[in-house]
Structure 1
Amino acid sequence: MVMLASHRIQMRRDRRRTLCHIRQIAMYVCHVALQIPLYEIAAAFGRDRTTVGHACHVVEDRRDDPAFDEFVAVVERTVTSVFRSNGVLGNE
């Protein structure tokens, strides 16, 4: 079966969008759950500080969706638990 060029372009665009959303969630969790400053997250992800700030706003806005909010909450709890059990985060 021959795939049309427009379908391949759409698949690449969808993949990029998915990767962008994953990166935004990761940046958000680093900032909110781990309380890492935006400039440190930016350096770690090879992005600008304002890009990290934008990512945090995008994720925060998407948390109005209950399913997305629950997903992010689970990621936050998991990350916090892992970092706390490894002694990286202090007990709150």
Structure 2
Amino acid sequence: MVMLVGERVPLRRDRRRTSCHVRQISMYVCHVVLQISLTDIGYAFRRDRTTVSHACHVVEDRRDDPAFDDFIASVERVVISVFGAPGGREHE
């Protein structure tokens, strides 16, 4: 398959967008489920705490979509099963 130069840019952009979404979900789960501070998460991801806050808002807004909400809920369950809920209680 021959690709034109202009066709490579969307592929690169899609990869970057996907990695951004994965990072946002990771930040969200760290903050909401593991209750890690925005500052500490930012440090771990080499981002500012305001970027982490934005990521949490983006994920929270996307949870209005039932399929996305189910996906995030399953990720949260996996994280809780591996790391446990903070304070030994189940996350709601």
Segments of 4+ moved more than 2 angstroms = none
TM-score, structure 1 normalization: 0.92
1:2-52 C-alpha deviation (Å, 9 max, x unpaired): 201111100000000000000000000000000000000000000000000
Aligned residues: percent identity? Answer: 70
Instruction: Verify the 8 A CA contact 2:35 2:86 in the aligned structure 1.
Output: no
Residue 28 of structure 2 corresponds to 28
Which runs of 5 or more residues in structure 1 are unaligned? Answer: none
Gaps of 5+ in 2: none
1:37-86 deviation per Cα after TM superposition (whole angstroms, max 9, x unaligned): 000000000000000000000000000000000000000111011002xx
Matching residue's letter, 2:63: R
What is the TM-score with the length of structure 2 in the denominator?
Answer: 0.92
RMSD across aligned positions (CA): 1.2
User: Which residue of structure 1 lines up, in the alignment, with residue 7 of structure 2?
Assistant: 7
